[in-house]
Chains A and B, each alone.
Chain A
Amino acid sequence: MIIQLPTATPVLQSQEPPLLELRGISKSFPGVRALQDVSFSIWPGEVHMLLGENGAGKSTLMKVLCGAHQADAGAFFHRGQPVQITVPSDARKLGIAVIFQEFSLVPYLDIAQNIFLGRAPRGRIPGTLDRKRMLAEARRVLDLLGMDIDPRTKLHRLGVAQQQMVEIAKALSQDASILVMDEPTAALSERESEQLFRVMARLKAQGVAIVYISHRMAEVFALGDRITVLRDGQRIRSLLPHEASPDALVQMMVGRSVDMTYPRHFTTPGETLLDVRGLSAASGIHDIALTVRAGEIVGLCGLVGSGRTEVARAIFGADPVISGEIRVFGRIHHGGPEAAAKLGVALIPESRKTEGLALNRSVADNIVSAGLPKLFRFGLFSPKRARDIARDIIARLSISAASTQVAVGTLSGGNQQKVVIGKWLAAKARLFILDEPTRGIDIGAKAQIFALVDALVASGAGVLMISSEQSEIVHVCDRAYVMRDKRIVGELQRDELTEQNIVLLGMHDA
């Protein structure tokens, strides 16, 4: 993509205090330190690029900035004066407007009503809207973005790109002095992106500060006046664009590998368990080809939204396949999830709490749940047999549970994940598809999960593993496929498998 930003005059930070300064911001969620002592300043008229891998803390920082999350520690300064941002209205009063990636739009309101939700111009009769002014104002902002569309159009009639433009219009209409954009061009066409960049240039000239999160290297250098790199919830560096090359930025985003032992015994792979050719699915993935052999852990990486989960779902039969062929254990598989499970394919979903486990049922119930027809003859359930199977799995996976009868919801995240894997082991699965198996799990439990996965493949199973944590892929996988924009853009063999290579392949226009 070619980006021209008409008047990109670099703004240097002046002697004045910054428009907004964040000092020592920390924010934790249960089990995760999302932000750790992050400081960050924005001056008027600058575009400040925020870079980092998935989970580096960009989105959390943004949500703290707009009052959606409350920081655990740290201080905010507006033009040098200490201020508080604890609720969204605080941020709005300071002139902060946010363009969200998950849209903050209401489907059955029209464009104008969406743009002015919560701050509509009032009519002469108390409690009414000034519809005329609302439409005129909406028209003005839409024109600014070059959108030729009736502001009375209901939002649910718009495509994703147009909805993104409305989200942008909503932020612009607030006449904000600080505009935060979370990957605004991810859903836009080239023409729309360029229109957005022209608007950004105009806003810059008016002294608006823009915080811009992007995964596109070209944008980072074309638009950015300053760049801040986040990694693992910490600020790694803030620098000017001419001080860094794309390679150096990638290096900063990836960092040195975290010190962690990955128990893995590489062996020569056996027969092909999964063979996918030319697979396209209704979910948008296109022309996917991949193989998994017995004894292998194969990584599937790429940015969030690049289509990794969709590939897993299509293979499992959860999404309609448009074309292509899936061979499982040498046989063509074109059935739904039930048929896949019967064949011995296990999909361990990312959101194990909602998709993988019945949290208020016992460990035993969960462990036998995937293999009921295989484990119990004539459709008769036997609690004793269920307990025996559960005991065996608990011992084999060293799950720490008080008994087979405690509710799964009471176990720790790592043990819950083991129960999910255990239920497919009990069902005698041989091909495991793991979607982010270590999300929300602490380091110690991670090592145990990987030891378990290693034991799985050593016993002749094959694993396809989706992970956003590239260090995991690098250390654990035999090979990895990298996805971008719903396609596989490259395959990395063991000797080429480095975090740099993954990031370079997965980045847009890198």
Chain B
Amino acid sequence: MLDQILPTRHPLLVRIPGVVVMLAVLSIGFAWASPGFLSWPNLSNVLAQSSVLLLIALPMTLVIMTEGLDLSIGAVLSLASVSLALVAVTTGSLLLALLVGVAIGAACGAVNGWLVAWLRIPPFVATLGMFGVAQGLALAVSDGQSITGIPTSVQAMYSGTLAGIPVPILLMLAATLAMHALLYATPFGTYVFALGGNREALAFAGISQRRVLLCVYTLAGAMGGLAGLLLTARLNSGHPSAGIGMEFDAIAAVAVGGTTFERGNGWLPGTVLGVITIGVLRNGLNLIAVPSSLQVCCIGILVILAFVFEAFTGERTGAQV
């Protein structure tokens, strides 16, 4: 009966604290330690550098909401990067490079989805396998070398500006809005919530779980391909190890953002903040000259802190459904 007495809070007043507090603490700390941190060029740089991670962390949120995981996303990003770099170098066409990158990513994702949904292979195993396949293919396609001579049209995807705003930041905004609309304003989005929350409810509603799963993993792969384009533009080359470790950052960003890995509890704005928090952390550590190996360490600690934070301040989870 206690449940009925407790007031229901406004839907927006949920769980913001964790990631916001961490972001605020880090920002204040770095601003104090390094005067250059709060300058506009630096902040704009942080955002632009976060763009690649954001593109894969957004769909990773959906994958995790379905009680899945995509360990292949970094390798898929690498594979897309070298493939589209080859296409871009030979044809000089941005559009073709984009299409090839997204198509290769989507194909890898679709295979993941098929393995998970139809063959019922645990996502951890299926995407781990895809990780190996994609990484190997990336090395084979590029012969283990960087692919250079990227045309300026592709480079502009990262370094260019539109109406004074850097293109990667525009891309981030577009991707965030699109993914937000997909998750919260379409029937598809509700099915994603249901996949993690109560699959039986989905079955009774007559919705095919498999097709939803396939879509989620394919989307993750396609976004990985798009991220591959952005990363190629940023590095000014296609590199077979470009995406190494990106799956770690993506999962970390989702976790830091307050998605709790259970019962379909996902929060997209949190993921965006999680990505920015990781970006701020890396940038700030660079400014105070912490080597990148230790930066990974710090991200790991951040993930654990996020969950510890959740454990102490976390909301009441309510009755089990």
Contacts and interface: CB of A to CB of B under 8 A. Distances in A.
A218 interface: no
Contact of B202 (A117, A129, A155): A117
A163 B203 contact: no
Interface in B92-136: none
Interface string A110-131: 1001100111101100011101
Nearest to A68: B204
B206 A118 contact: yes
A156 interface: yes
Interface string A89-127: 100100000101011111111100110011110110001
A30 interface: no
Contacts of A11: none
B204 A104 contact: yes
A118 B209 CA distance: 12
Contacts of B188: 127
A109 B207 CA distance: 16
Contacts of B204: 66, 68, 88, 98, 100, 104, 118
Contacts of A117: 190-191, 194, 201-202, 205, 207
Contacts of A304: none
Interface in B265-319: 265-266, 316-319
Contacts of A119: 205
Contacts of A152: 11
Nearest to B3: A159
B1 A159 contact: yes
Nearest to B194: A106
A97 to B, nearest CB: 10
A158 interface: yes
Interface string B1-45: 111100011010010000000000000000000000000000000
A149 B321 contact: no
B205 A158 contact: no
A218 B257 CA distance: 51
B193 interface: yes
B143 interface: no
A32 interface: no
Contact of A92 (B8, B186, B206, B266): B206
B193 A108 contact: yes
A482 B187 CA distance: 47
Interface string B172-191: 00000000010001111011
A163 B201 CA distance: 14
Contact of A159 (B197, B200, B201, B319): B319
B263 interface: yes
A153 interface: yes
B321 A107 contact: yes
Interface in B135-150: none
Contacts of A160: 3, 319
A157 interface: yes
B3 A128 contact: no
A87 interface: yes
Given A108-B266, A156-B321, A162 B205 contact: no
Given A118-B206, A161-B4, A155 B321 contact: yes
Contacts of A161: 1, 3-4
A47 B190 CA distance: 34
A432 to B, nearest CB: 30
A109 B1 contact: no
Contact of A105 (B1, B201, B266): B201
A437 B122 CA distance: 34
B3 A158 contact: yes
Interface of A: 66, 68, 87-89, 92, 98, 100, 102-110, 113-114, 117-120, 122-123, 127-129, 131, 149-150, 152-163, 189
23 contacts: A92-B206, A100-B204, A102-B200, A104-B198, A105-B201, A106-B193, A106-B197, A106-B198, A107-B265, A108-B193, A108-B265, A113-B190, A117-B190, A117-B194, A117-B201, A129-B187, A129-B190, A157-B9, A157-B316, A159-B2, A159-B3, A163-B319, A189-B1
The 9 A-B residue pairs with the shortest CB-CB distance in the complex, in nearest-first order: A159-B3, A118-B205, A106-B197, A89-B206, A104-B201, A156-B318, A106-B194, A107-B321, A107-B197
Given A150-B8, A153-B8, 20 more contacts: A87-B206, A88-B204, A100-B204, A104-B200, A105-B201, A107-B321, A108-B197, A109-B194, A109-B197, A113-B193, A118-B202, A120-B190, A127-B188, A128-B185, A129-B187, A156-B265, A156-B317, A156-B321, A158-B319, A162-B3
